[in-house]
């Protein structure tokens, strides 16, 4: 039975690159700046926190449904 390790033809194992490029150049890792949370995410988070204060069993999905309902009504 063949082993479970990842192998390439010829019996060589695949190499894993941790923090370096494929060509072996070592350098500082760069991080892309994100855009930040969207307006929708901010509103859902705000609603979630309000709902969580009154009922600790509230899930994020419940807040999304509530925000969607409010948006359809034009209240959001």
Say what the pLDDT of residue 8 is. 56
Examine the pLDDT at 59 and tell me if it is beyond 80.
yes
First to last CA, the chain: 60
Say what the pLDDT of residue 33 is. 85
How far apart are the C-alpha atoms of 48 and 20, rounded to whole Å?
40
Q: Are 37 and 43 in contact (CB under 8 A)?
A: no
Residue 29 or 5, more confident: 29
């Amino acid at each position: 039975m063949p082993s479970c390790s990842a192998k390439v033809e010829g019996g060589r194992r695949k190499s894993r690159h941790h923090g370096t490029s494929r060509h072996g150049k070592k350098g500082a890792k760069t991080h892309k700046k994100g855009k930040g949370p969207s307006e929708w995410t901010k509103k859902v988070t705000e609603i979630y926190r309000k709902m969580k204060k009154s009922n600790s069993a509230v899930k994020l999905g419940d807040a999304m449904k509530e925000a969607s309902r409010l948006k359809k009504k034009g209240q959001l």
